[in-house]
Amino acid sequence: MDAIRELEIVVNTFLQAGGPVLQTIMQAITFLGDELFYILFMPAIYWCVSAWSGLRIGVMLLLSGGVNSIFKLALRGPRPSWISDKVTPVVHETSFGIPSGHAMNSISVWGWAAVEAKKKWATISCIALIVLISFSRLVMGVHFLSDVILGLILGGLLLLLFALTWRKIGAWLARLDWKQQVVLAFISSLVFVALAILAKNLGGEWQMPAEWAARASKDGEVVNPMSLKGALTSAGVWFGMLGGFAWLRAKHGVLKSEQGSWHKLLRYLLGLVGIIALYLGLGKLFPKDLGWISDILRYFRYFLIGLWISAISPLLFVKLKIGQIEPHL
C-alpha cells in the first residue's frame, strides 16, 4: 500500500472515530445521493413543479451516472475497506470506488437544481447538500478522499458543459421530428453501454485481487465490480425518459405543473406506485444470473421506469383528471 493510500485511510479512520451518532446522521445524508432516492423523489419535480425543469435535472442525473459508471470501469480503484481492515464500511457497495458516484451526482443534480431555482436560499441549500453528501461518503468508509475529489471535479465539468450547451442542443433537437428524437435517444443510450463495455475490456481480462474480494464480500455474496449495472441503469432510463418525452410532446403536449396541492400530491403518489411496481416488481421477476440476457432485461426494466415517468403517468393523470397536458405549439 503506498503512502498516499495510507494517508487517506488515516482520514477515513479519523472521521469514523466520530462514533455511531455521526455515522447515523451521515447515513441519512448519504441516502440523498442514493439511486433509490433519485428514483423515488426526483420525478416529483417533473410531475409537480415543472416538466421542463424535471427533464433537465433528469438529464444531468443520467449523464452523471452514465459517465461515472464508465470511469469506474476504466480506473478500477478499490474502496477503503477492500484494502484495509482499519476502515469499516457502514453501507455495502459492490462497484469500484473511484470516482465517487455520490459526489459526482450530487454536484451535477443539486448544482443544476440551484440553477433552475434561481433563488439564493436554494443555491445555499444545494451547496450544503453537495458538501454533506460528499463528506458522508468518507464517514461511511466507502470512499477515499481522492475518490470524492475526482467525483466533484467530473461532476462540476459536466455541470459547466451542460450549462453552456443545453439551449443550443435543445434548439437543434426542436428542429427534428419526434421519431428522429426517439431514435437519437435510443442510439445515445447505446453509446453509454458501448463505452462502458469498452472501459470494461481495457487492458484485457481483469481479475479482482483476492485480498479485495475477501474484504468486499458480505454474507458470502460474490462482489463483481466489473458489472455493467450502472451503465445499463442510466442508459435504460435515458431512452425511456427522453424518448417518452419526445413522443408525448409531439402527440399530446407537455404536462402542466399548475392545479392545487391535492392534485400534485395525488400525481406524485400515483406516479410513485408505478415506479415501485416496476422497480421492485420487475426486479424480482427478471432473473439476474443469465449473463447478457439479464443485462438486456435490466436495460428494459429501467427503460420502462423512464417511460412511465415522462409519458405514461402524465396520460394517466389526465385520464383521472388530476393533471393537464398543454399542447406544444
| pLDDT tens digits along 160-211 | 999 999 999 999 998 999 999 999 999 999 999 999 999 999 877 788 888 8
User: What is the pTM assigned to this prediction?
Assistant: 0.90
Average pLDDT, the chain: 90
The C-alpha angle with vertex 139 and arms to 117 and 105, in degrees rounded to 5, equals 35
For the cut 60, the answer to whether the pLDDT of residue 8 exceeds it is: yes
pLDDT at 221: 66
**Alpha helix segments (H runs only) across 31-50:** 35-41, 43-44
For the cut 60, the answer to whether the pLDDT of residue 219 exceeds it is: no
Residue 294: left if φ>0, alpha if ψ -120 to 50, beta else—which one? alpha
pLDDT at 287: 83
Q: Which three cell numbers stand for residue 180?
A: 428522429
Q: Interhelix angle for 120-139 vs 145-174, to 10°?
A: 140
**Alpha helix segments (H runs only) across the chain:** 3-16, 20-30, 35-41, 43-44, 51-75, 80-83, 101-117, 120-139, 145-174, 178-200, 210-216, 229-251, 261-276, 282-285, 292-307, 313-319
Task: In whole angstroms, give the CA distance from residue 302 to residue 234.
Answer: 8
Say which residue the cell 443545453 belongs to.
Answer: 166
> Taking residues 247-256, what's their average pLDDT?
92
pLDDT at 1: 58
pLDDT at 220: 55
Say which residue the cell 441549500 belongs to.
Answer: 125
Strand-pair partners of 254 = 326
The C-alpha angle with vertex 191 and arms to 187 and 197, in degrees rounded to 5, equals 140
**8 A C-beta contact, residue 23 and residue 148:** no
318-322 own/partner pairs: CB under 8 Å, 24+ apart = 320/266, 320/270, 322/259, 322/263, 322/266, 322/267, 322/270
| pLDDT tens digits along 93-106 | 888 999 999 999 99
| pLDDT tens digits along 55-74 | 999 999 999 999 999 999 99
> Taking residues 297-312, what's their average pLDDT?
95
Task: In whole angstroms, give the CA distance from residue 198 to residue 240.
Answer: 23
For the cut 60, the answer to whether the pLDDT of residue 329 exceeds it is: no
